Amino acid sequence: MKTGKTKPDTFRRSPCPVANTLDLVGDQWSLLVIRDILHGKHTYGELLDSPEKIPTSTLADRLKRLENAGILVKAAYQEHPIRYAYSLSAKGAALGEILLAFVNWGTKYIPGTQTLKSFEEGRN
């Protein structure tokens, strides 16, 4: 049974929490996958259908990495053929605050960005 905890020495390059968090979710795609799950996308196909067009091999890799880190939970929703849905663990849901900070910063400093409605509701 997975506990949702990542083995400490698996990814550490320093004791810095910023560096360690970036090692888990700081690549080009992980936070976008988390964003999409926060916005109600849960299946592989739904996650592939994002405007950023994540490559299929990259999506498969990020889902596995985020699951292994205890950020995502994978559950079968169909048996034949087997298909999975992904949801955020409590640890993963806590990253919503980080995404909201990105939204606030991006809308303030990057002209032309558009805030998704669910993030707008989270800012009030």
| Nearest one of 10, 9, 6, 32 to 106, comparing CA atoms | 32
**Domain 11-91: CATH class, spelled out:** mainly alpha
> What tokens does 108 get?
């303030």
> What tokens does 96 get?
């919503």
pLDDT at 12: 74
**Spatial contact of 84 and 74, defined as CB atoms under 8 Å apart:** yes
Give the helix ranges, DSSP H, for the chain: 17-25, 30-38, 44-48, 56-68, 90-93, 96-109, 117-123
Average pLDDT (53-58) is 97
Q: pTM above the 0.85 mark?
A: no
16-51 pLDDT, tens per residue?
999 999 999 999 999 999 999 999 999 999 999 999
Residues 6+ apart with CB under 8 A from 74: 63, 67, 84, 85, 86
**Spatial contact of 72 and 88, defined as CB atoms under 8 Å apart:** yes
